[in-house]
Amino acid sequence: MKLTKVIINNFRSFGESQIIELNNQTVLIGNNSSGKTTVLQALSKLFSDKQNDRIIRKSDFHLPKGSRPGENIRNLFIETIFEFDELYRTLYSPSIPSFFEHFTVSQDGAKPFLRIRLESSWEDDGTIEGSIDTQIYYISSGEEEFKEEDKHRAPRKDLDKIRVLYVPASRTPEKELGNASGSMLSRLVNSINWTEDETNEITDKIDELNNTFLSENGALTQINQEIQKSWELYHEDNRFSQAELTINSSEMAAALRQIALKFSPTTTEEAFTVSDLGDGLRSIFYFSLVDSILDIELEITKDREENPDNPRFKLIPPILTILAIEEPENHIAPHHIGKLVKRFKQLSNNDNSQVILTSHSPAIVKRIEPEELRYLRIESNDRVLQTIVSDIKLPQDTDESYKYIKGAIQAYPELYFAKLVVLGEGDSEELLLPKFFDLLGNEIDSSQISIVPLGGRHVNYFWKLLNSLKIPHITLLDFDNERYGGGWGRVKYVIQQLLEIGIERSDLVKLKDGRILKDEDIARISSWQICDIFSQPLLSWINHLEKFNIFFSAPLDIDFLMLQHYKEHYLGTLSLKEGPVVSYADSDGNSKKVKLTDLDCIDKLQLEGLEKRIEEAKIATLKDKSGPGDSFTREEKELMIWYQYFFLGRGKPTTHMQFLSSISDDELTRNLPSVFEKMVKRAEELLGDIEHGKE
């Protein structure tokens, strides 16, 4: 038995009905106040073992945008769907007979399921809280729309077979080890089915202990006598005339309340209690305690099946415990988080438990299968202010891109928590773009911008993902002019993918003469003539695509672009012994080499060597299946020598880091590539739209 779906309507931040599909383990992610905790509390309203958590209050009713508190009647519902894989196993499961008569199906031949629905209404009756009526029903219809006669009251004794164990962000395990009614430990200890012999033996030991403490010559007896003597001086009434110290454990129940947990060894002579532990250890122990309780309950269930007439515990465990954990990462060291996530996964696969986590920590998210994530955000516009829930969209697992996309988004989980994502192609973008954003006054951390190097291969899938999650994004792609698939080919690819994710054709590919390109026209784009990057019509297409938040590092990539604008500063990072060389043959036919920076521009033999070096660098830069290089200027072709030396030989991150450490902000600004200015401006516009509630 597992909870597979919850539907929330008009509960707190939830307005219009949101359907949340649940797995054995589900992780709710999103920014602060997006509604993650609300989902856990919604489930607690139906299935918490604490009565106070089940009460619906006035503040639980969603207030639609534009409404005033106190006006009209308000209604909410929380519906849960349970499915039973046990139906297809041979092993006995208590869940089936417990709920069998309330099973329903959506259609003939479909799997049966269980529908439990909480409905509540609020009406202003002049009191502070108003009049609130709450009922919980079984729904016997499988249809979305059902009749009143399909609702059947669900008694609490049935609902108690399902338990939501809510673990708050601030964890106090000492409460669950205490003597208060309803604590985890007290429920277990008080339900032990002691044998008569065990009871008599424990009682005798308690009496023996009392006699020792209160022996005739003992110090405690002396204190007792003095208290009694003084009491007689102050009190003359026959009532309450005897005042005696006793050990408050004369009964077995009282003795059990003295059970306490101690930790040792310690750095002191004293054993530690739970309260003595640091926040991190207390949090870890809380999870450990919950884990042990669930394991014990599994054993109790087995024992009751094997010994129905004489079970070891009187407790009847829930059939299903939904472990609802809020922010498990709190106070936990990173290396412990992996252990926790692994154990939660194991618990979720047990027959008696299921796990729902909330988190806004990349450290948690990167360890979770994307299929188990549910993304929550607040939709805010002129009409509504409410929580929206989305799944994580991945390619089909049969698609070759599936593993890559899955691995990539696990490697960069911070994209889920960003107000704006900037997609780049690789390490260079990840290193350089934050610097330029900061330089231009849009510091990425304070603006909640994530730079994610996933813009190259399969970038279309990341566009689909971010669009589905309604996360604004900007993409910087390598234009790769004259490289295989680059130039016009890159324009074609971008257009095709933008159309696929839903961009209007009339907006995207409408020509100046009013014609709208068809698919067959777009397919021929890559065969269009290669031309200079800074001439029409290629430049016009580049500018046009910027309207759709697609920008290009042109003419090749961001590394070449940086060399164009900051060549002398990159050269300034080299020692005297470093730099590319030109090979040539002297007048005697001997092989010679000269550093490019020391080249004699009037030496014909050296210049012949330079031409060969340029050709070599061009081939290396443009790669296989490249164009002839005709669209590049002489200066750009010579620059390819430096490109080959810095970025195909030494490594991109190292080169860029040396450059950034050697240049001032003023010098960076002075030669700033215009594409970075355009991107930062667009980011400001998109972030402004978010601030003003525009989707």
In the prediction, which pLDDT does 544 show?
93
Q: Indicate the residue type of 375.
A: Y
pLDDT of residue 340: 87
Label residue 588 left, alpha or beta by phi (over 0 means left) and psi (-120 to 50 means alpha).
Answer: alpha
318 Ramachandran zone, left/alpha/beta (phi>0; psi -120 to 50) = beta
Res 535 pLDDT > 60:
no
| 9 sits in which H/E element | strand 2-9
Across 71-80, 232-241, 253-262, the highest mean pLDDT is recorded for 71-80
Vertex 9 angle, CA 27 and 118, to 5°: 95
Peptide bond into 628 cis (omega under 30): no
Residue 52 to residue 91: CA distance in whole angstroms:
37
Stretch 107-113: mean pLDDT: 82
**pLDDT band at 223; cut points 50, 70, 90:** confident
Provide the total of helices (H) and of strands (E) in the chain, helices listed first.
Answer: 24, 18
pLDDT at site 92: 66
- Average confidence (pLDDT) over 508-533: 77
At 335 the pLDDT is 78
Residue 272 has pLDDT above 80, yes or no: no
Residue matched to tokens 């001086």: 233
Query: What was the pLDDT predicted at 67?
Result: 77
Convert the pLDDT of each residue in 26-76 to its tens digit. 999 998 889 999 999 999 999 998 899 999 999 999 988 877 766 678 999
Alpha-carbon gap, residue 683 to 91, rounded angstroms? 58
Q: Give strand pairing partners of 476.
A: 551
The per-residue pLDDT for 656 is 96
pTM: 0.83
Q: How far is CA 383 from CA 31, 380, 567, in A?
A: 21, 8, 52
Residue-wise pLDDT for 338-366, tens only, equals 888 998 999 899 888 999 999 988 889 99
- Report which of residues 476 and 246 the model is more confident about: 476
Q: Identify the structural domains of the chain with CATH numbers, from first to last.
A: 2-177+313-366 (3.40.50.300), 184-306 (no CATH), 558-663 (no CATH)
Sequence-distant (6+) residues with CB within 8 A of 131 are 122, 123, 124, 125
What is the distance between the alpha carbons of residues 558 and 434, in angstroms, rounded to a whole number?
14
pLDDT, greater one: 546 or 461: 546
**Span 259-275, average pLDDT:** 68
Q: Rounded CA gap, 419 and 687, in Å?
A: 7
Structure tokens at 150: 């399909």
Q: Tell me the C-alpha distance between 374 and 388, whole Å.
A: 10
What average pLDDT does range 635-658 have in this prediction?
A: 93
pLDDT number for residue 483? 92
> Could you give the CA distance from residue 176 to residue 182 in angstroms, rounded to a whole number?
8
pLDDT band at 295 (very low <50, low <70, confident <90, very high): confident
C-alpha radius of gyration, the chain, whole number = 36
Confidence of residue 529 (pLDDT cuts 50, 70, 90): low
Would you state the pLDDT for residue 372?
94
* pLDDT given at position 305: 80
Can you give the pLDDT at residue 281?
79
CA gap 176, 193 in Å, rounded:
21
Which tens digits make up the pLDDT trace of 300-340? Answer: 888 888 888 888 877 788 899 999 999 988 888 877 888 88
122: helix, strand or coil:
strand
Percentage of the chain surpassing pLDDT 70?
A: 88
- Residue 455 pLDDT greater than 90, yes or no: no
- The pLDDT, as a whole number, for residue 274 is 65
How does strand 420-423 pair with strand 151-153?
A: unpaired
Task: Tell me the three state secondary structure of residue 337.
Answer: helix
Tell me the pLDDT band of 204, cut-offs 50, 70 and 90. confident
State mean pLDDT over 74-100. 84
Residues 573-595 have pLDDT tens digits of 999 889 999 999 988 889 999 99
What percent of the chain has pLDDT above 90? 47
The helix/strand/coil state of 497 is helix
pLDDT in tens, 373-395: 999 999 988 888 899 999 988 88
Q: Are strands 162-167 and 320-326 parallel, antiparallel or unpaired?
A: parallel
Averaging pLDDT over each range in 29-33, 197-201, 254-258, which range is the top one?
Answer: 29-33
The pLDDT mean for the chain works out to: 86
Residues in the chain: 695
Tell me how far apart the alpha carbons of residues 214 and 210 are, in angstroms, rounded to a whole number: 6
Residues contacting 297, CB < 8 A, separation 6+: 315, 317, 318, 321, 352
- State how far the Cα of 615 lies from the Cα of 336, in Å rounded to an integer: 54
As beta bridge partners, residue 135 has 119
